[in-house]
Amino acid sequence: MEKKTNSLCFEILHRLNKSGVLQHLILIGSWSIYFYKYYFKSKDYSTYIRTKDMDFLVPIPSKLSKEINVFELFKDLGFLEKYRGSKGYIVLEHPDLSIEFLVPERGRGSNKPYFIPQLSINAQPLRFLDFLIENTIPITTEGLHLKVPHPAAYALHKFIIFKRRNKAEKYERDIEGALRVFNELIRSKKEGQVRLIFKRMHKKWQEKVIENLKSIGELEVVGILKG
Amino acid sequence: MGVIKDLLKEELGNSLRLQKDYKEALKKYPGGSIIKKEIKGHVYYYVAFRDGKKIRFVYKGKKLSADDLRNLKESKRLRIKYRSLINKLNKRAQYLKKALHGKED
């Protein structure tokens, strides 16, 4: 199943690339963990992921100039267009993958979906995503150039948001994934980059990271961040 | 164990929900094959499909536009795809049900 899911993921990325929109998107969420293997280049790094969610972050204001209909782009692969809950965020569902588009939530925030006409999609606004937009790395593989959050930004972002999860399974998955990426950064002797990105965070977010890590007993990680 | 069980339950729920969604989606796409009939030197197009024990023919016209043809072909492709995904989800749901009702250590 994992092999089939991976090939479906690559098919999605290739189609977005061919449509000229991939360069304006950032692949976030657990699929980043998979693509970090091209960054770490370590045999010990585990790319195992337990999710079907494939999340794309759309920086706003968007630089997308072409207009496409993402549902039409993936329809023949068996994706269904579903509106999540009463709010109307669009999710493209398939037995092996669930594609969602996210935008950073700013100001007071709103429950309403954010319509992206260039993609014909209702995106979901979420907090703390600007931090990921500010810290990305390029990954080149199989003729694709995609943007993912810097692994340190990925881990730090998860250290903030895991407490917001309602489901125990998602809570534990966030922590496990973030610690796996964080530990690989330390093994690759990239503490300096981790601290630099941590220091770039808003003071309140830094405090939140420390508080959350202390609450799960990850004092060693706190020590590394504080230098 | 609780977390794993919750995960399996969630996955089972998702599989059943998606299976239902595919069955709904199937209704949007008419089945059948395009049939070309020649009657007294004239060509007529029909869509043939099974309705219970009977095979029905729905008249589409003397000519099929490129759009009609494309829509019918797409509809057929999607029906095949959706059916195969329904089977896949069915197998997954059976597997998850077995796993959920298995004995715990």
Q: Do A80 and B21 touch (CB under 8 A)?
A: yes
The reported pLDDT for the residue numbered A48 is 80
Least Cα distance to A91 among B7, B8, B21 occurs for B21
Cβ contacts from A onto B, under 8 A: 36
What's the pLDDT at B53? 86
How many other C-beta atoms are found inside a 10 Å radius of the C-beta of residue B42?
8
Give A-chain residues touching B2 at CB under 8 angstroms.
Answer: 168
Confidence of residue B103 (pLDDT cuts 50, 70, 90): low
Contacts of B18 in chain A (CB under 8 A): 80, 93, 95
d(Cα A95, Cα A5) in Å, to the nearest integer?
9
Question: Smallest Cα–Cα separation from A82: which of B21, B30, B11, B74?
Answer: B21
pTM of the predicted model, to two decimals?
0.88
Label residue B78 by pLDDT band (50, 70, 90): very high
Assess whether pLDDT exceeds 70 at residue B105: no
Task: Give the model confidence (pLDDT) of B8-52 as tens digits.
Answer: 888 999 999 999 999 999 988 877 888 889 999 999 998 888 888
Mind telling me how many Å the CA of B56 is from chain A's nearest CA?
27
- Residue segments in chain A with a per-residue pLDDT below the cut of 70: 1, 85-86
For chain A, percent helix, then strand, then coil, each to nearest 5? 50, 20, 30
Interchain contact A78–B (C-beta under 8 A): yes
Q: Per the CB < 8 Å rule, is B85 touching A78?
A: yes
d(CA A216, CA B38): 76
User: According to the model, what pLDDT value does residue B94 have?
Assistant: 95
Q: Which of A93, A171, A175, A176 to mutate to test the interface with B (most CBs of B within 10 A)?
A: A93
Q: Do A168 and B3 touch (CB under 8 A)?
A: yes
CA pseudo-torsion sign A130, A134, A138, A139: negative
User: Per the CB < 8 Å rule, is A169 touching B7?
Assistant: yes
Nearest-Cα distance to chain A for B14, in Å, is 9
The confidence band for B104, taking pLDDT boundaries of 50, 70 and 90, is low
Tally Cβ neighbours within 10 Å of residue A80: 18
Provide ipTM, 2 decimals: 0.80
